[in-house]
Amino acid sequence: MKLSWWKWLTVALLLYTVVVGLLSEVPRLAILNETIRNLYFHVPMWFGMILILLVSVVYSIKYLRNPLLKNDIVAVEAAKVGILFGVLGIVTGMEWARFTWGEFWSNDPKQNASAIGLLIYFAYLILRGSFQDHQQRARISAVYNVFAFAALIPLLFILPRLTDSLHPGNGGNPGFNSYDLDSRLRAVFYPAVIGWTLLGVWVVTLRTRLEVLKQRFYENA
Amino acid sequence: MQKDFVLEWRQKYAFNGMLLYVGSTVFICYLSFSLRFGALEVPVWNALYWIILLFTAVNAIAKGFAQESRGRLLYYYSVVSPQGVIVAKMLYNAALMLVLAVLCFGFYAVVIGNPVQDVPMFLLTILLGALGFAASLTMISGIAAKTANTGTLMAVLSFPVMVPMLLMLMKMSKNAIDGLDRSLSLDEGLVLLAINMIVVTVSYILFPYLWRS
């Protein structure tokens, strides 16, 4: 098996995240207790999602400047992986919220914002599905992708800061960067973010290669 | 650009249709609510108003591109720049939304009752809302008009994009209804302006790509 260095790095980082994340000592905090380990799985999903959606937007812009089929394929596959990360993020978050806030869904602004973000990207996939012509589909969905991402920025970064949230770090809850994210958590958290994001990139490259091969196959068939 | 405005203005039947749409929606809301309670609670009043306006906006602006005949689009294409078209459409839609929103407010106040304590502030909110709705929906309607099932896609594409705006608007108009101090609404107003700026800029940049097809 020949893998380039960053794929080995991904495997190593994720193994480290899972093993050390589940076995190491964590700070004891009221309410959070052991669920603080979700920091290694839930939070990196959002980092990964935003970075991979950013990749998608960059390739959409690239497509608009230079209409190559490959740019469009990367954009749509990255959007799909971003959606997958978003769904996983919501599921891990809801599971965690069940034990700390008492309910799966407690009308938290961040929960709502992430649900709306996912709706935007589901709409993107539906938009793609409604075109017959390849080029038109690629161009118009690229336009929508950029537009939707611009609309997503206030949703994810401005709105939650204006309202109180149940999330750690908001509304007087113990914060993310303050006293309680000590060095033991950091030692696993940062590798976890890098690891999950790289895994996302890996999936995108695989899916892109598969799609390109499929296209080539249909053209020759 | 002005010519575009005039051309749109000629299709008055569409405008009258929208007026009737607003009127009948408000009346249906009145009938379906007032049969059970006398007056609406303030949060319900507020939410209902913006939801009526949202649906009116989607319906009114969806027509913007879908209604144009192929020949006329081709004519625009050869005469004016895409930036001119999008700016003209946005201005027209903003004006249309403003008229519809104010009329809707008037009719709504007459039929269902008017709990608003700070009317100038409420009108400012309506102005910001009309601008925001027009800006984001114009671009979306341009996208949706290219597809086969325009109606569904218009709703699916626009609702998630408009939610942040709608939340801000509702909060701001709630403040105006309760007659709270105006400085409290400053944050929401600024965020709304920022969102509008982002949307307008992005539409301005992206529209030429959409226009080409």
DSSP string across A168-211: TTSTTS--SSSTTS-HHHHHHHHHHHHHHHHHHHHHHHHHHHHH
Question: According to the model, what pLDDT value does residue A190 have?
Answer: 80
Which class for B81: exposed (0-12), middle (13-18), buried (19 or more C-beta within 10 A)?
middle
Q: Is B69 helix (H, G, I), strand (E, B) or coil?
A: coil
Q: Answer whether A116 sits within 8 Å of B203, measured CB to CB.
A: no
Question: What DSSP letter does each residue of A62-96 carry, written as one string?
Answer: HHHHS--HHHHHHHHHHHHHHHHHHHHHHHHHHHH
The tally of CA atoms less than 13 A away on the side-chain side of residue B13 is: 1
Dist CA A111 CA A86 (whole Å) = 11
Question: According to the model, what pLDDT value does residue B209 have?
Answer: 81
Is it the case that residue B2 has pLDDT exceeding 70?
A: no
A15-29, A133-147, B78-92, B137-151, range with the lowest pLDDT? A15-29
Report the sign of the C-alpha dihedral through residues A40, A42, A46, A52, in that order: positive
Is it the case that residue B140 has pLDDT exceeding 50?
A: yes
Nearest chain B CA: its distance from A42 CA (Å): 23
Interface pTM, i.e. ipTM: 0.74
Chain B residues with CB under 8 Å of A119 CB are 159-160
H or E stretch including B203? helix B186-211
Question: According to the model, what pLDDT value does residue B10 have?
Answer: 63
- pLDDT per residue over A155-210, tens digit each? 777 666 666 556 665 544 444 554 455 666 777 778 888 888 888 888 888 888 88
pLDDT greater at residue A105 or residue A30:
A105
Mean pLDDT over all residues of chain B? 79
Question: According to the model, what pLDDT value does residue A171 have?
Answer: 45
State in Å, rounded, how far the first CA of chain B is from the last one: 21
Q: Which two tokens stand for residue A135?
A: 């080029």
Dist CA A34 CA A27 (whole Å) = 9
Confidence of residue B3 (pLDDT cuts 50, 70, 90): low
Q: Answer whether A147 sits within 8 Å of B139, measured CB to CB.
A: yes
A117-121, A159-163, A188-192, B114-118, range with the lowest pLDDT? A159-163
Q: Is B87 helix (H, G, I), strand (E, B) or coil?
A: helix
The answer to whether the beta carbons of residues B53 and B125 sit under 8 Å apart is no
Highest mean pLDDT among A82-86, A185-189, B60-64: A82-86
Q: Answer whether A147 sits within 8 Å of B202, measured CB to CB.
A: yes
Dihedral angle of Cα B152, B157, B158, B159, to the nearest 10 degrees: 80
Q: Which two tokens stand for residue A35?
A: 């669920």
Q: Which two tokens stand for residue B20?
A: 């009737």
Question: According to the model, what pLDDT value does residue A8 have?
Answer: 81
3-state DSSP percent of chain A in helix, strand and coil, to 5: 75, 0, 25
pTM exceeds 0.80: no
Is it the case that residue A150 has pLDDT exceeding 70?
A: yes
The answer to whether the beta carbons of residues B118 and B34 sit under 8 Å apart is no
Is it the case that residue A30 has pLDDT exceeding 70?
A: no
pLDDT greater at residue A177 or residue B52:
B52
Dist CA A72 CA A69 (whole Å) = 5
What's the mean pLDDT in B136-141? 85
Question: According to the model, what pLDDT value does residue A173 have?
Answer: 47
B202 touches chain A (CB under 8 A): yes
Which class for A115: exposed (0-12), middle (13-18), buried (19 or more C-beta within 10 A)?
middle
What's the mean pLDDT in A128-153? 83
B positions 89-148 inside 8 Å of A (CB)? 136, 139-140, 143, 146-148
> What proportion of chain B, given as a percentage, has pLDDT over 90?
0
Dist CA B158 CA B56 (whole Å) = 13
- Residue B185 is given by DSSP the state G
Nearest chain B CA: its distance from A52 CA (Å): 20
Q: Answer whether A140 sits within 8 Å of B191, measured CB to CB.
A: no
Which residue does chain B place closest to A152, by CA atoms? Answer: B161
- Residue A157 is given by DSSP the state I
Domain count for chain A? 1
A151 touches chain B (CB under 8 A): yes
Q: Which two tokens stand for residue B84?
A: 């001119």
pLDDT greater at residue B87 or residue B72:
B87
pLDDT greater at residue B37 or residue B116:
B116
Q: Answer whether A151 sits within 8 Å of B164, measured CB to CB.
A: yes
Dist CA B135 CA B193 (whole Å) = 11
Question: According to the model, what pLDDT value does residue B175 have?
Answer: 83
In a domain, A31, yes or no: no
Short-list B120, B125, B116, B118, CA closest to B98: B125
The answer to whether the beta carbons of residues A90 and A118 sit under 8 Å apart is yes
Is it the case that residue A94 has pLDDT exceeding 80?
A: yes
Mean pLDDT over all residues of chain A? 78
Q: Which two tokens stand for residue B88?
A: 């003209």
Is it the case that residue B4 has pLDDT exceeding 80?
A: no
Kindly give, in sequence order, each residue whose CB lies less than 8 Å from that of residue A121, ignoring residues fewer than 6 positions away. A53, A79, A82, A83, A86, A148
The domain containing residue A112 runs over which residues?
Answer: 38-168+178-220
What's the mean pLDDT in B177-203? 80
A181-185, B23-27, B39-43, B53-57, range with the lowest pLDDT? A181-185
Can you give the residue ranges of every domain in chain B? 1-212
The answer to whether the beta carbons of residues B136 and A150 sit under 8 Å apart is no
In a domain, A148, yes or no: yes
